[in-house]
Homo-oligomer: A and B are copies of this chain.
Amino acid sequence: MSTVFAGMAASLDGYIASAGGELDWLNDAMVRGEDYGFSATMQRTGAYVMGADTYRETARFSGSGGDSTPTYVVTHARSLEGQPSNVQRYSGDLRNLVTELREETDKDICVFGGADLVTQFIDLNLLDELTVSVVPVLLGGGVHFFGRLGEWKRLTLAECKQFEKSGIVLLTYRLNGSEGR
């Protein structure tokens, strides 16, 4: 069965974006030659789920049609700007979406963001795997990744990978007693 996973890069103090929206802190930290798993993540993904804001950001950077993987944008909007054929809007129950996607693909399901959507997936016990790339910087303010949860969620550390040059640490956890299906 597909694993539902999410990943993000955050400063040590837990911000995914600086107060001013700059990305220097992240881009400057990454070192050429270190494999942060972007390509492996794309290869394992059979479907993307993302929020409307994240979709707009992604479309802005990558243009439409950069990737033909089925993509579901969780939104109540009636239409999406420049919507390519692999992108669908979804406004229903997230549990049903996961059930449907698992019928459509044997590959994994990537919850691409934003933070609110990932938090909903966690709260509904729909997320199986979470990777945080801890970037060695303190931003001291900005956008927090993690939102409010209805209850504590215990995690199981699956992998801890340290990058020598950049000092980035990838922490991968399983949720819901999932053993990494």
Mark A residues whose CB is within 8 Å of B: 12-14, 18, 25, 122, 130, 132, 134, 136-141, 144-157, 160, 162, 167-169, 171, 173
Contact = CB atoms under 8 A, between A and B. Distances in A.
Report copies per complex.
2
Nearest to A165: B157
10 contacts: A12-B130, A12-B171, A13-B14, A136-B173, A137-B152, A137-B154, A137-B155, A138-B152, A140-B148, A140-B149
A155 B137 CA distance: 5
A152 B18 contact: yes
A78 to B, nearest CB: 33
Contact of A155 (B12, B149, B155): B12
